[in-house]
């Protein structure tokens, strides 16, 4: 497959670190040096599926395709207003796509997991054009009284259109499954039969553990994929890494020994938008005209689960 269009859409509300410090015991002096984040986009009046639909429409326009040309829509999402139907179906309705949709919930590496799945569909010859959309509103599941999580996240959506080609060079998925629930909620009254401890708790995260896992898993996935495809880090034009924390991104870059200009970043005014982060960054870089034909792009994501993955794509 090859990538022929990208799009992204963000909520209009931007919340700065100073805004947060008005109701939380935190400060820009704490958040920025530890995360690289100064502000994040947060959903207020928008619907996530409308942002996703806008991203898909922009990606289709760039690809020169219409909604009717799409054979499959893969949507990466952790949380939204809908339990069913899946968000892919809602987005298909909003954009006029009449294709099957599949929702995946892999957290932050969702874009890489999605590309891995889409590649298999192309290899089977069962699709000609596929939309990958990542739409996330992690701000819905953090406690806005917990300064150790809510300062990290932002919302947004982005999409990519793939068609037949030979630009996708491979992917590597990994996992270190951990049964700890990082978030749970109940929409309805418990059944009369539930006889175990279940509580509504907001997202909880072992920040330091995730930090270490992220650096180790990302380096391992990228190393494996480079070795398998016969490339070295010097062949990679850009590393599009999940925007979790600028210190995580810097630690990965330093260990790889790659100059900063090949590690684009937008975390400063986006925060961590889970699986949407890589795709939003890709679209922003694309629209700035950063990529040229033949550039090799290495993608890497890591997070919830814990799951991680890398993918290599020629521009
Ligand atoms: O997609 C993957 C998602 N997850 C991540 O990316 C998380 C990766 N981890 C991290 O980014 C970092 O671990 C954090 C930024 C979350 C935290 O940084 P840290 O240097 O690991 O801090 P810590 O959790 O060890 O906390 C140090 C102190 C604590 O105070 P005490 O107990 O030492 O008095 C925290 O209560 O910093 C305090 N703290 C804060 N203070 C002001 C935690 N959050 C804040 C805050 N403002 N927002």
What pLDDT sits at residue 164?
A: 98
Please give the Cα distance from 164 to 2 (Å, whole number): 6
CA distances from 101 to 75, 129, 135, 160, 226 (A): 7, 13, 14, 15, 31
Neighbours of 312 (CB within 10 A): 23
CA distances from 42 to 61, 129, 269 (A): 26, 31, 11
CA distances from 41 to 127, 155, 160 (A): 34, 6, 21
Ligand 1 centre from 28 Cα, in Å? 13
Ligand 1 centre from 207 Cα, in Å? 6
Residue nearest to atom 29 of ligand 1 (CA): 148
Please give the Cα distance from 242 to 278 (Å, whole number): 5
What pLDDT sits at residue 207?
A: 85
Please calculate the CA angle 307-252-166 and round it to the nearest 5 degrees: 65
H/E segment holding residue 213? helix 207-229
Please give the Cα distance from 199 to 191 (Å, whole number): 14
Digit-by-digit pLDDT tens for the chain (315 residues) are 999 999 999 999 999 999 999 999 999 999 999 999 999 999 999 999 999 999 999 999 999 999 999 999 999 999 998 889 999 999 999 999 999 999 999 999 999 999 999 999 999 999 999 999 999 999 998 889 999 999 999 999 999 999 999 999 999 999 998 877 776 666 566 666 766 676 667 788 888 889 999 999 999 999 999 999 999 999 999 999 999 999 999 999 999 999 999 999 999 999 999 999 999 999 999 999 999 999 999 999 999 889 999 999 999
Residue nearest to atom 36 of ligand 1 (CA): 148
Residues marked as catalytic = 108, 242, 272
What pLDDT sits at residue 184?
A: 65
**What per-residue string of b and e applies to 186-213 under the rule 16 or more CB within 10 Å gives b?**
eeeeeeeeeeeeeeeebbebeeeebeeb
CA distances from 222 to 155, 244, 302, 303, 309 (A): 26, 17, 12, 15, 8
The atom of ligand 1 lying closest to the CA of 242 is: 1
Q: What angle separates helix 276-287 from helix 110-124, to the nearest 10 degrees?
A: 80
The atom of ligand 1 lying closest to the CA of 272 is: 1
Ligand 1 centre from 310 Cα, in Å? 26
What pLDDT sits at residue 304?
A: 87
pLDDT digits over 157-196, tens only? 999 999 999 999 999 999 998 877 776 666 566 666 766 6
């Amino acid at each position: 497959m090859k990538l022929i269009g990208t799009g992204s859409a963000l909520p209009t509300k931007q919340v700065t670190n100073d805004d947060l410090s008005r109701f939380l015991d935190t400060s820009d002096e704490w958040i920025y040096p530890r995360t690289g984040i100064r502000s994040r986009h947060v959903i207020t009046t928008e619907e996530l599926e409308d942002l996703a639909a806008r991203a898909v429409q922009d990606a289709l326009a760039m690809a020169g395709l219409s909604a009717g040309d799409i054979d499959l829509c893969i949507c990466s999402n952790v949380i939204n207003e809908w339990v069913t139907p899946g968000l892919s179906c809602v987005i298909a309705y909003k954009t006029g796509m009449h294709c099957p949709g599949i929702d995946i919930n892999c957290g932050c590496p969702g874009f890489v997991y999605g590309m891995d799945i889409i590649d298999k569909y192309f290899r089977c010859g069962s699709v000609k054009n596929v939309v990958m959309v990542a739409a996330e509103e992690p701000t819905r599941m953090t406690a806005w009284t917990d300064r150790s999580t809510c300062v990290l996240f932002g919302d947004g959506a982005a999409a990519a259109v793939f068609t037949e080609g030979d630009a996708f060079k491979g992917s590597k998925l990994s996992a270190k499954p951990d049964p700890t629930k990082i978030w749970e909620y109940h929409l309805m009254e418990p059944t009369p039969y539930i006889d175990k401890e279940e509580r509504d708790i907001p997202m909880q995260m072992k920040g330091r553990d995730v930090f270490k896992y992220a650096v180790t898993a990302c380096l391992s996935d990228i190393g494996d994929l480079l070795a398998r495809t016969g490339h070295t880090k010097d062949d990679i034009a850009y590393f599009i890494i999940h925007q979790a924390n600028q210190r995580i991104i810097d630690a990965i870059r330093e260990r790889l020994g790659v100059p900063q200009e090949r590690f684009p970043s937008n975390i400063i005014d986006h925060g961590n938008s889970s699986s949407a982060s890589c795709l939003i960054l890709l679209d922003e870089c694309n629209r700035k005209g950063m990529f040229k034909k033949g550039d090799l792009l290495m993608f890497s994501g890591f997070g919830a689960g814990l799951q991680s993955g890398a993918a290599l794509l020629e521009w």
